[in-house]
Amino acid sequence: MYRKLLFTAFAVALLCFFSHSAPAQDRHWGRLLPLADNEYVIKKKRSDSVIAGTDLSDVAASIFHKKRARKIKSDTITSKPVFSYVPAIGYTLETKLALTLTGNVAFRTDSLAHISTITSNIGYSQNKQFTFPIQSEIWTHDNSFSLVGDYRFYKYPQSTFGLGSNSDIKNEDPMDYIYIRFHEMVLKNITGGLFAGAGYIIDYHNHITQKGNLNGNLPDYTTYGPEGHSTSSGISLQVLFDNRENSIYPDNGFYASMQYRDNLKTLGSTANWSSVIIDLRKYFKFPASTDNVLAIWSYDWLTLSGKPPYLDLPATGWDPYASTGRGYIQGRFRGAQEVYAEAEYRFNISHNGLFGGVVFGNAQSFSAAEGTSLQSIQPGYGLGVRIKLNKLSKTNVAIDYGFGRQGSGGLFINVGELF
- pLDDT confidence of residue 416: 79
Query: Cα 400 to chain center, whole Å?
Result: 15
Alpha-carbon radius of gyration of the chain: 21
Could you read off the pLDDT of 379-391 as tens digits, one per residue?
999 999 999 987 8
CB 398 within 8 A of CB 321: no
Q: How far is CA 301 from CA 209, 231, 255, 328, 336, in A?
A: 26, 19, 16, 18, 8
Can you say whether residue 248 is alpha, beta or left, with left for phi > 0 and alpha for psi between -120 and 50 degrees?
Answer: alpha
Q: Tell me, what amino acid is at 102?
A: T
Q: How confident is the model at residue 51 (pLDDT cuts 50, 70, 90)?
A: low
What would the DSSP string read from start to end of 290-328?
Answer: SS-EEEEEEEEEEEEEE---GGGS-BTT-STTS-S-TTS
- pLDDT confidence of residue 398: 87
Q: How far is CA 205 from CA 156, 169, 179, 181, 417, in A?
A: 10, 24, 5, 9, 29
Can you say whether residue 125 is alpha, beta or left, with left for phi > 0 and alpha for psi between -120 and 50 degrees?
Answer: beta
Could you read off the pLDDT of 147-178 as tens digits, one per residue?
999 999 999 999 999 999 999 999 999 999 99
Could you read off the pLDDT of 345-377 as tens digits, one per residue?
999 999 888 999 999 999 999 999 989 999 999
- pLDDT confidence of residue 68: 53
Q: How many residues does the chain have?
A: 419
Rounded Cα–Cα distance for residues 298 and 338 (Å)? 11
Q: Which residue has the higher pLDDT, 31 or 180?
A: 180
Rounded Cα–Cα distance for residues 134 and 399 (Å)? 25
CB 369 within 8 A of CB 331: no
**Burial zone of 102 (CB within 10 Å; 0-12 exposed, 13-18 middle, 19+ buried):** buried
CB 43 within 8 A of CB 413: no
Rounded Cα–Cα distance for residues 350 and 352 (Å)? 6
Choose the most confident range, by mean pLDDT, from 3-7, 167-171, 244-248: 167-171
Rounded Cα–Cα distance for residues 7 and 95 (Å)? 13
Domains, the chain: 2-415 (2.40.160.50)
Q: Which helix (H) or strand (E) element contains residue 8? A: helix 2-18
- pLDDT confidence of residue 17: 44
